[in-house]
Amino acid sequence: MRTLLDAESGPWHPVARATFEATVDAGWANPRARYAEGRRAAEILNLAREQVADVLGCRTDEVSFDSSGAAASRRAVAGLAIGRRRVSRSVATSSVEHSSILQAAVGVISAGGDSGATHLSIDVDADGLIDLTKLAFIAGAEPAFVAIQAANQETGVIQDWQGISATLEPAGVPWFVDATSVLAHGEPPQKWSVLTADAPAWAGPSGVGILAVRTGARWRNPDYPSDAFELGRVPGMPSVPAIAAAGAALVAMRDDRIERAKTLAGFSAHIRKVASEQIPHVQIHSTDVGCPHITSMSFLYVSGEALASQLDVRGFAVASGSACANELHTPSHVLAAMGHLTEGNLRITLPWNTTAEGVDAFLAQLPSAVHSVREQFGAVDL
């Protein structure tokens, strides 16, 4: 029996699966069409929009759906850069944002062709928290926007949302927040201008991202002139069954998040405790005050990919490396920004259906798996 410890890749919540199967036949039509099938698809799509808006605490017409969280984030960056270009050609991000956001920020600066435009980076400390003093300094320079995630998908570090909004709001600088890691496990952030999230993070289907734009936010569609899909924010016909499944899963995860968060936090704390006590030369990057389902840790004298492969052979699906670039086998820019060890990294994200038996089985194998890989590299006695 295999144990999945990578929540970003599934499995779907049962509510998501049931909703998807029910809407494949009912929601296949173009939701803009005026005939009966189109109107039915539009009703299903609007219900999902209402569900997401209810979880976020925003207006229904502020919510749109994109093809992924990464696509929504790129659209968020480009739209804010265009909407605020008369104020500033510079943009600011934390150094630990998802790679899609960092790449989009660099892209809008390069595309603008303005020698005075800059990408301002906000440092984090060894705990992964942004420097609010530097944030205040950057806000005073009036960038087009500041992108700071609600929590890190790799380490689970939760940022100081109140401190961020209290710093940016008086300066009139929009806050773009990637809320992917927190929506299923706690209250969402507030006082943002633009918010994005990725459905697989709450056991929804891949291919669905959220783009929420507050009324009055100076965001402009980077694809202008746009078609009429998704309130004019996202081109192309949406996948109504997938979006319906994502909305239903988000509500289901929201409704039992308190009890589930307690359970997953207990599992995560146990994983960190056993790893630190039974395995030498390990650095834990996550803490008990972060996202309850995320643990990141690195082992000296070990290849992260080799360790993940060793665990895979033993029946455990665990990710290694950066949460947004692990297929490239590149060191984590998040851990580098924190000044932490980047090699030999394991990233454990507990799915909604994680069991104590699965965690215990994993911990029974982890020390010997690390030892085995170190033995392969001739590093057992180091």
- The mean pLDDT values, 10 residues at a time, for the chain of 382 residues are 90 97 94 95 98 98 98 97 94 97 94 76 96 95 97 97 97 98 95 98 97 97 79 92 98 96 98 98 96 97 95 96 60 94 95 97 98 87 65
Instruction: Judge whether 303 and 343 are in contact, CB under 8 Å.
Output: yes
5 belongs to a structural domain: no
Is 247 in the same domain as 339?
no
7 belongs to a structural domain: no
Tokens of 158: 């939760």
93 belongs to a structural domain: yes
Q: What is the pLDDT of residue 117?
A: 82
Phi-psi region of 371 (alpha: psi -120 to 50; beta: other; left: phi over 0): alpha
Is 92 in the same domain as 120?
yes
Q: What is the pLDDT of residue 329?
A: 61
**The last residue of a domain, from among 224, 255, 286:** 255
Output the 3-class SS for 287-347: CCCCCCCEEEEEECCCCHHHHHHHHHHCCEECECCCCCCHHHCCCCHHHHHHCCCCCCEEE
- The CATH number given to whatever domain includes residue 75 is 3.40.640.10
Q: Which residues pair with 196 in a beta bridge?
A: 178, 211
2 belongs to a structural domain: no
Which are the contacts of 200, defined by CB distance < 8 A and separation ≥ 6? 7, 8, 9, 10, 206
Is 227 in the same domain as 119?
yes
Is 261 in the same domain as 304?
yes
286 belongs to a structural domain: yes
239 belongs to a structural domain: yes
Is 251 in the same domain as 261?
no
Is 301 in the same domain as 222?
no
Is 279 in the same domain as 303?
yes
Is 273 in the same domain as 338?
yes
Q: What is the pLDDT of residue 112?
A: 66
> What is the spatial distance between Cα 212 and Cα 258, in angstroms, rounded to a whole number?
24
Is 207 in the same domain as 188?
yes
Residue 293: closest CA among 68, 97, 5, 96: 5
Cα-to-chain-centroid distance, residue 64: 17
Which are the contacts of 313, defined by CB distance < 8 A and separation ≥ 6? none
**The last residue of a domain, from among 196, 225, 255:** 255
Please state the length of the chain.
382
CB-based burial of residue 381 (10 Å sphere; 0-12 exposed, 13-18 middle, 19+ buried)?
exposed
* Containing structural domain, residue 302: 256-376
Instruction: Judge whether 4 and 10 are in contact, CB under 8 Å.
Output: yes
Is 41 in the same domain as 166?
yes
**The last residue of a domain, from among 255, 285, 316:** 255
Is 19 in the same domain as 119?
yes
Domain count of the fold of the chain:
2
